[in-house]
Amino acid sequence: MAVFRKDSVPVTVAHASYPAPYTLPAGRLHYRHITEAGGLTQFGAALETLLPGGQSSQMHWEEHEDEFMFMLSGTLTVVEDGVETIVGPGDSCCWRAGTPVGHMLKNHSDAPATYLIVGSRRPENICHYPGLDLIATPDGPTHLDGTPYPKKGDTQ
């Protein structure tokens, strides 16, 4: 058993991990990856804080990974296939694997919003980004036609 006291898991500042032209600004969100600290491998859980004006990710849905979000403080706008819903403390969201509902979180408020995010860790997962020429595969991001995006540091 591992006990982690509040603030004992280090904060990581999110960086832009999407290939150009879909990158998001660094610093929009920070997280404490609780399950990484505990060495768990079958699911991932993180305490995330989305800063004012921030967007959690590009609109996406997962083929093989369930996702769960539980709001702890602040308010967020959940965007699902273009429909916006405001959520606050005590509210939760579930996105079932294989259900093509594109989703993302936005912070339109003037205060940080903190939530617990949990997902399966399926190495075969494929993530779809509706409206973008982007698919995340186990081998890295590709265009819709399967052509890989250049890896960081590669020259074109």
- Give residue-wise pLDDT tens across range 2-15: 888 888 999 999 88
pLDDT digits (tens, 9 = 90+) for 49-105: 999 999 999 999 999 999 999 999 999 999 999 899 999 999 999 999 999 999 999
Which CATH class name applies to 12-123? Answer: mainly beta
pTM for the full predicted model: 0.91
67 forms beta bridges with 95, 119
pLDDT digits (tens, 9 = 90+) for 22-35: 999 888 999 999 99
Q: Where are the domains of the chain?
A: 12-123
